[in-house]
Structure 1
Amino acid sequence: MNAPDLKEPKGKRDWSEAVSVVARKKPSPAVPDKLYEKSKTVHNQRIDGPFRRFKWAVMVVTLAIYYITPWLRWDRGPYAPDQAVLVDLANRRFYMFGIEIWPHEFYFVAGLLIMAGIGLFLVTSAVGRAWCGYACPQTVWTDVFQHIDRLFDGDRNARIRLDKAPWGPAKIARRTSKWSVYLVISFVTGGAWILYFADAPTLFADFFAGEAAPIAYATVGVLTATTFALGGFMREQVCIYMCPWPRIQTAMLDEKSLIVTYKDWRGEKRGSLKKAAKDPDAYGDCIDCLQCVAVCPTGIDIREGPQIGCITCALCIDACDRVMKDIGRPRGLIDYATLEDCKHEAAGGTPVSPWKTLLRPRTLIYFTIWGGIGGALLFALGVRSHTDLTVSPDRNPPFMLLSDGSVRNAYTLKLRNMESRPRVMEVALGGLPGGVLWTDTIALENAGRSQEIEVPADATRTVRAYVLAPADTDEQGFTFTLTSLDEQRESDTAETRFSTPGGNP
C-alpha cells in the first residue's frame, strides 16, 4: 500500500480537513465487538491410552485414601484414641498411625509442609505440572464429575448437542439427575473431611442423628458447596484463573524439564490425508484432526505451544498416538519432551534418554534437600523423649521470707507424659545447696530433694512446687529434673532461678 499524500491541500480546504481525508483512506485496525467473551463449556472427549489409564489409577488411589483413611483403626492402648489418622483439636493432638504429635512438636508438621513444597518443586522441575495433571484434588474431582457427565449425557458430541438444545422435560430431567449426583458426591466429600477431626464412627452417627457440633454441619455445608461449584461447573477456570501455581511454575521450569510438547518441525505444515497424499513433501504429520483439543480437559490447543492452561495430563499424547497409529505414522508428534531435546531432535539428532533428563543437578539438589529434611524428621522422631517438663516461677511475689529467715520460692511445673499409659515420675532439684522441694500433693514435713508424682496417660499434669533454701542462700540458678520411673528412664531438665531478698530485681 502506498503512503498517503500528506502535502498541504490546495483551495479552500484547511489542513484539518486533509487529515480527516487521510484518516478515512487509512484502513482502521480491527476492533473487537466485545471486550469480554464468555468462556465456553469444555466438553472433553473420552480417550483410552497409557496416560489415561494412569490417571484412572491415581484417581482410584487418591479417592480411596481420602474416603477410607478416617475409618482405619490403630491400637494405641486403653488411654488413647484408636483412629489411625486423627487431628484431635480438642486435646491438641495429631495422630498418624504410630506417630503422635503434641503442640510443642509442631516443627514436625512444619517439616512435612516444607517437604511437600520442595516435593512440588522437584516434580515440576522434572516433569512439569504432573501434580496438576494427576493428583491435585481439583483435577481428581473434576475427572470424577466429567465421567458423571458421560454417564448421563453421553460423550463429547452428545453433550454439545444437549447444551445447544432448548430446555424441555427431557433436558431438565437429565440435568436434575446429573446435578443430584454432583450434590451427593460433594456431600460425601465434605462429610469425609470432618471425620478426620473426631472419632469417625461416633461422629458419623451423631451427624445423622442431629447431635453433632454446629461446626461439623457448617464445615460439611461449605465443602459441599465448594466441591459442587468448583468440580461441577468451574473446573478448568480454577486451574487457569484461580490457582496461583501455573504462574509460579515458570520459575521451576527450564529447557531441561519434561513437558507435554507438540513437535512443530515434524507436524507442520498441517493438512488432511488427501492433501498430504497429493504433495507429501509440502505437509507434515499433523492432519489437523483436532483430537488433541477434543480430549483436553481444559480445552486448549497444545499445538500453540506451552501455555498456562496445560496441566500436563498427557491425554493429548494418547489421542495423537492413536491417530498416528491409525494413519501409519510414527508416534510422538505430541510427547513428553524437553525444549533442549526438541531442538536436538529437530536438528536430526536422536532423543535423549528420560533418565538423563531427570538425573540432572537441579533435580538432584531438590531431591537431596527433600530427602535431608525427611531424614532429619525421622531422626528427631526416633530420638525424641516422651517425657517433657516446663517450669514457670511466680513473679508476684518472687519470694517469701519466712520467720526463721529461710526463703521460699514457688513454681508452676507442667509434667508431660507422652506415653499411652500412666507413669510415675520423679521431680528432683539440681544445684541450690541446702534446698528442699515439696509440692501441693504432699505436706511440708515430707519435703526433700525429690518428689514422686503420678502423671496420667497421654496427658500433662500441672503441679505447684515450692522450694525452700537457708537464709544465707544467694540468688542463683538451679534446675528441675523430671525422670520417668520405668524401664525407659527418660528424663528432661528445665533451668530456672531462685530469688532472694539480696538478689538483683
Structure 2
Amino acid sequence: MNASDQEPGLYAAREPIFPKRVSGKFRNLKWIIMAVTLGIYYLTPWIRWDRGPSLPDQAVLVDIANRRFFFFMIEIWPHEFYFVAGLLIMAGLGLFLFTSALGRVWCGYACPQTVWTDLFILVERWIEGDRNARLRLHRQKKWDFRKVRLRLTKYITWVLIGLATGGAWVFYFTDAPQLLQDLVFGTAHPIAYTTIAVMTFTTVFFGAIAREQICIYACPWPRIQAAMMDEETLTVGYREWRGEPRGKGKRTTDSELGDCIDCMACVNVCPVGIDIRDGQQLECITCALCIDACDEMMEKIGKPRGLVDYLAVGDEAYETAGNPPRSIWKHHFLRPRTILYTALWSLVGILLVVALFMRTDIDLTVAPVRNPVFVTLSDGTIRNTYEVRLRNKHGDDRPFTISIKGDPTMRVELEGTPESTVMVPADQMKLQRVYVLAPNGSVPAEGNRTEFRIWVEDATNGDRVYKDTVFNGKAR
C-alpha cells in the first residue's frame, strides 16, 4: 500500500504558532487588561485588613478551617452560600451578555488562559526574539550553546512564573506573610507545597506549552457560544466585498484588485494561527490583533482602515449595497437579547446588595430535641429542650441574651448557667442547650402545641434576631 493510499489520522499533528508582535489600540487594551488582572491576582493577598485577634489581618481570605470567606468588609458564612451562588449567576449572565454583543470578547481579553498565554509569549519574545527569530530557532536542528542558553533561560523563567502563580494561589487561604516565611524555611504544611507544585505544572503546561490547544480542544465555550450569538452580534470579521480579489499588484483607480494585498499580517499575529479571511471559525478568540495588523498595513499602502474589523453578519449585505456603517449602539448593543441579559444581571446584583445590607451580625438556629418530645417534672412542670446555635460574626466576644415571647407563663433556662446571658466567642458559633418550662395546666390541651418565639439580643449593641418554634406538652 502506498503512503498516499493510507487513511488520514484522527488527529493532525500540532503546528507550533509563533505570533508576531503588533501594536495598536486592541493590543494596547490587552496589555492594560493583562497588567490589571495579573496585578489583582498577585497583589491582593498582601492587602492588609484588621480581622481582630483571632484571624489573619488579610483583606481577602478563604478560611477553610472555619468555612468562611472574607472580602474586605464583607464576611460570608457557610449558611450564606447564596451570595456565592448569586455571584456565579451574575458571572454567567455577564458572559452571556458580552458574548451576545461582542462574541468571544471574554476569551480574547480576560480569560485566565489568554492572559497567562500572553504573558508566556511575551517572555518568549523577550528572550528569543520576534516571530522570525523564533521560527529560525525552532527550525534549527543543531543544539548549539546559543540555542541551549535561550531555551534554558526561557524554561526557567516560565517555571518561575508558574511558581509565582501557585504561590499567589495558596496565599489566599492563610496569612500571606507568615506562609511566605514558612515556605522559605521549609516549615509550611505539605499541602501548601503540593498545591504550589500542581499549580506550577498546570500553569506552565496550559499557558506555555498547550496554549491555543486548550482553547480549541479543552474549553467547551467555543461550542456553546453559538447559542448566545445572532446575526447582529459583533465579532472580528473580514470585509470580503472590499478586499477581494486579493493580489500584490499595483492598485489604480481602474484596478480589479481589492484592498487586500495578501501580506499575511493578520495571520502572522494571530495567537491561534487562523486566517480570519476564511470567515468565522471555532478557533477565533476575538482578540482583534488581526485588526491592528491589517489597519497598520492599510495605512502603509494608503487605503482606509477597517478591512478587518468588528462586524456582524447583517453588516455585510448592508455595506455591500454601498450603505455607510450602521450605528453600533442601535443595531448591535441595544437589542432585546442584550437588554434582557442586562436586566437579569442587574436584578441579581440588586438582590444581592439588598440581602447584604439586610443581614445582621448575629444569627441563630433552633432545633427542638425530639427524644423525648417533652418531659414532665416532679412538680408537674412541663419542659421542652432546644439546641440553639448562636453565631457571633463580630471580631470580639459578645454576650447574647436569650428570652422568649408567647405564653406569659412560660420561662427559659440555659444549661450550665443560672443567667439568661451566654458569652459567644468572636467569629464563632456556640451550641447552647435551652430549656423552656411551662407550669402544670398552662399549656392548652387541644393540639398540645403552643407557638412561641425565641429572641437573641446582643447585649453590646442591642442587635436582635428571633426564630419561631413550638412548645409541646399536655396539661393535666
- Give TM class, smaller chain: over 0.9
Q: Deviations over 1:423-477 (max 9, x none)?
A: 222211122342221112324xx6xxxx222222222121111122122224323
**Residues 1:490 and 2:466 aligned together:** no
Is 1:441 aligned to 2:410, yes or no? Answer: no
Letter in 2 for 1:54: L
Partner of 2:426: 457
2:144 is matched with 169
> Structure 2 matches for 1:86-485, cutoff 5 A?
86-170=61-145, 171-274=147-250, 276=251, 280-356=254-330, 357-443=332-418, 451-472=420-441, 473-474=443-444, 475-476=448-449, 477-485=451-459
1:430 counterpart letter in structure 2: K
Instruction: Give 1:499's aligned amino acid.
Output: N
1:160-197 CA-to-partner distances (Å, cap 9, x unmatched) read: 11111114132222212211111110111011001111
**TM-score in terms of structure 1 length:** 0.89
Q: Alpha-carbon deviation of 1:310? A: 0.6
Paired residues of 2:56 and 2:174 also in contact (CA < 8 A): no
The alpha carbon displacement at 1:31 in A equals 7.2
Distance in 1 (alpha carbons) for counterparts of 2:254 and 2:62:
64
Q: SS where residue 273 of structure 1 aligns?
A: coil
| Secondary structure in 2 matching 1:428 | strand
> How far apart are residue 361 of structure 1 and its match?
2.1
User: Which deviates further from its counterpart, 318-327 or 493-502?
Assistant: 493-502
- 1: CA distance, partners of 2:58 / 2:321: 59
C-alpha displacement of 1:208: 2.0
Deviations 1:323-347 (A, max 9, x none): 1000111110000121112221111
Q: Give me the whole-angstrom Cα distance separating, in 2, the residues matched to 1:468 and 1:375.
A: 44
SS of structure 2 residue aligned to 1:94: strand
**More divergent stretch after superposition (79-88 vs 63-72):** 79-88
2:50 partner letter: D
Larger Rg: 1
On the 8 A contact 2:363/2:392 being kept in 1, the answer is yes
Alignment-mate amino acid for residue 410 of structure 2? G
Q: Which letter does structure 1 place at the counterpart of 2:229?
A: L
SS at match of 1:150: helix
- Aligned residue pairs total 466
1:247-287: CA deviation from partner (whole Å, max 9, x where unpaired): 1110111111110010111111111134x45x953211111
Q: Which moved more, 1:98-107 or 1:471-480?
A: 471-480
C-alpha separation between the residues in 2 aligned to 1:30 and 1:44? 35
Distance in structure 2 (CA, Å) of the matches to 1:493 and 1:281 = 83
Output the TM-score relative to the length of structure 2.
Answer: 0.94
**3-state secondary structure, aligned to 2:69:** strand
Unaligned runs of 5+ in 2: none
Offset of 1:496 from its aligned partner?
2.2
Percentage of matched positions with identical amino acids: 51
Offset from partner CA, 1:363-418 (integer Å, 9 cap, x none): 12111111111111111111211121111122222222211122222211111122
